[in-house]
Amino acid sequence: MGKVLGTSFVKYGQTLTKHAESMTDFFLHVKELPVSLNFLMFVAVIIIVSSSNEDKMGGYYSMKTLLLPNGGTEILNVHPEDVVYVRADGNYCIMTVTGGFEQELWISMKRFASIVGEQLKGERSLFIGVGRSLVVNMSYIYRVNPVKGELVLFDSANPAKIELHASSAALSALREYLDTLNRE
For 72-183, which CATH class? mainly beta
Q: What is the pTM of this model?
A: 0.65
User: Residues 83-111: what's their mean pLDDT?
Assistant: 94
pLDDT, tens digit, for every residue of 141-167? 999 999 999 999 998 888 888 999 999
In the chain, helix, strand, coil percent, each to 5?
A: 25, 40, 30
Q: How confident is the model at residue 89 (pLDDT cuts 50, 70, 90)?
A: very high
Question: Which alpha helices (H) appear in the chain, and where do they start and end?
Answer: 23-31, 37-41, 109-119, 168-183
Q: Cα 94 from chain centroid?
A: 12
Of 174 and 9, more confident: 174
Where in the sequence of the chain do the CATH 2.40.50.1020 domains occur?
72-183
